[in-house]
Amino acid sequence: MIPLARLLLTIIMAQPLTQSERKALGAYYTDENVVRFLVRWGLRNATVSSAMDPSCGDGRFLAAAAEAGGAGRLVGCDVSPQAVESTRLRLGGDGLEAKLLQSDFFALQPESVAPVDLVVGNPPFIRYQRFDDGSRAKALESALRMGVRLSKRTSSWAPFLLHAVRFLNPDGALAMVVPAEITQARYGLRTLGALLDHFGAVTLLAFERNFFLDAQQDTCLLLAREKGQQSRHVRLVPLSSITDLADLELDGGGADGGFDVAVKVEGPVRFAEAFLKPAERRVWRRLKGHDQVRSLASLATVTNGYVTGDNEFFHRTREVAETERLPPTWLFPVARSSKSLRGLLFEKSDVADLESRGLAHHLILPQEDLFLAADRDVLNEWLAQGSRRGTPQRFKCRSRDPWWRVPGLQKTDVLIGYMSGAYPRAAVNRCGAYYTNSLHGLRLFQEVPPELIVLGFYSSLTLLSLEIEGRSYGGGILKVEPRELDRALLPLPEAAFTGWRQVVHEVDRLLRDGRFEDANRQVDAVLLKEGLGLTERDVQRLREARERLMQRRLGRRL
């Protein structure tokens, strides 16, 4: 029994940090379902007589290990004195012996602690910008000793895992919470690759529902056992939520429903693929090798849009520009974000429509060589307006000369949203608009009509590939970086097949009416069934897989 005064202190000490302290320390404590599962797995899968949590927080992992029995010797470490004190109170109340260290874990030498059989816990997720320089230097050096050269732009959790491995006995196990970056970011994959070099079996459990909502991190669980062996594959296991962990029986690190993925450092593991049903995965993989399915990189170059440094200052509606006497020759139509792309075709009339709703869609670009005296006055007035707002001192503006000339303007045939909510957007640029860096532009290589590319974009095949290749962040947003867009798959029927031309305007209208699913069905019927000859069943599989992945990321909104 813990005396009441102690219990109260424990409760008060458990979360004594402010929000910004929590962020600085990456102090997001783990759900008890996850704690119990990782400890249970760890104690079962290693011959465990000692366990360590290298960033123990309030000691919940160590307490669970003590409660489960088995781990006789416990070691806890945390950089925060409050955390160590909370752990001491929590364990001390049960009369448990534990070696508790208040230290930066990266400053702790493996030789200074007797090796343990299990390392369990949840490492701090501190982005590289906030990662303390001294600590980072030690972290990167430790990672190097594990055979991985990580750059300074590495979040703390990756070297933390690698450093932790150095505290393990041969045949020991590691059971940790990790961000999904382990399968997406380059440094994450390097870390995962190193774990495969040091463990005989590595499993990642992924969840349809994110369980660290306040940390805005897509998170999974890493289970690695048989330290001292090597493995070639990581096993991905999809689960719907952490409540599934209660009765999950992992057979020696593997699990039913999982599948093995070879980890290559060159390309990310397609983690979302874990959520495809086997039949869906078969169709998906078959289509990857289909001769009428192309990667976007083989059809076009993805080009970046412009950055103004102060969107409000540099954009105007035609109407407002007129009242400010800005010459019409200084105004250029633009697409500003996914929201600008309402149909399959982006037309002059869209720019006018958007502006009628007050959304400025013209970029101001003074034409110096045409200056009349009157224009110079207008220019000076506009520049004075900018100075009053502090625009010239803004980061992007102060690094260019003159500060008011926006560089990097491109016109491309196709525009694609960088970030999307439920539905990604793409359109044919029919009005020669420039576009901001909230959009990607596509410069097409060959004689493929841009309408066909955009139509293909709305097929279940391409939408599924975007869900698989892109990244979902907290908030349900799908973000597709240029390299990820390069890997998107597009249906490209033979040139002789022209049936698609008849549906361009119909699909454009459906999209404008917000009937996205109907537009998608139309495109599937024409491009996937008629064009590529897929069966209704296979198309259905692609659609259902896309729907499931979309719902998975939207679930993060909750």
Ligand X SMILES: C[S@@+](CC[C@H](N)C(=O)[O-])C[C@H]1O[C@@H](n2cnc3c(N)ncnc32)[C@H](O)[C@@H]1O
Sites of contact with ligand X (CB under 6 A)? 25-30, 53, 55-57, 60-61, 77-80, 83, 104-106, 121-122, 124, 135
Number of CB atoms found within 10 A of residue 430's CB: 17
265 contact partners, CB below 8 Å, separation of at least 6: 186, 189, 190, 193
Q: Which is nearer to ligand X, 38 or 468 (CB)?
A: 38
| Rounded Cα gap, residues 220 and 238, in angstroms | 10
**Nearest to ligand X of 87, 340 (CB atom):** 87
Q: At closest approach, how far in Å is the CB of 206 from ligand X? A: 18
DSSP assignment of 189-224, as one string?
HHHHHHHHHHEEEEEEEEESS-S-TTTT--EEEEEE
CB 512 to ligand X: min, Å: 46
Q: Which is nearer to ligand X, 79 or 224 (CB)?
A: 79
Write down the least CB distance from residue 233 to ligand X, Å: 27
Q: State in angstroms the smallest separation of the CB of 35 from ligand X.
A: 7
For the CB of residue 124, give the shortest distance to ligand X in the complex, in Å.
Answer: 3
- Whichever of 32 and 368 has its CB closer to ligand X, that residue is 32
Closest CA relative to residue 223, chosen from 247, 255, 267? 255
Residue indicated by tokens 């599948």 = 259
Question: Looking at beta carbons only, is 82 or 462 nearer to ligand X?
Answer: 82
| Residue with the shortest CB distance to ligand X | 57
Residue 531 Cα to chain centre, angstroms: 33
Say if residues 65 and 51 touch (Cβ distance below 8 Å): yes
Cα(70)–Cα(51) distance, integer angstroms: 9
Minimum CB separation from ligand X for residue 255, in Å?
22
- Would you say 118 or 300 has its CB closer to ligand X? 118
Cβ of residue 76: shortest distance to ligand X, in angstroms?
A: 9
User: Which residue type occupies 331?
Assistant: L
Verify cis geometry, omega within 30 degrees of 0, for the bond prior to 402: yes
What stretch of H or E contains 378? helix 373-389
CB closer to ligand X, 53 vs 310: 53
How far apart, in whole angstroms, are the C-alpha atoms of residue 519 and residue 523? Answer: 6
Task: Judge contact between 286 and 292, C-beta under 8 A.
Answer: no
How many CA atoms within 13 Å lie on the side-chain side of 272? 22
The residue among 106 and 314 lying less far from ligand X, judged by its C-beta, is 106
Q: Which residues of 63-100 are buried (b: 16+ CB within 10 A; e: fewer)?
A: bbbbebebbeebbbbbbbebbbbbbbbbbbeeeeebeb
The contacts found for 481-485 with CB under 8 angstroms, 24 or more apart, are 482/302, 482/304, 482/440, 485/296, 485/302, 485/416, 485/440
Q: Residue 177 or 461: which CB sits closer to ligand X? A: 177
Please report how close the Cβ of residue 122 comes to ligand X at its closest, in angstroms: 3
| Shortest distance, position 31 Cβ to ligand X, whole Å | 9
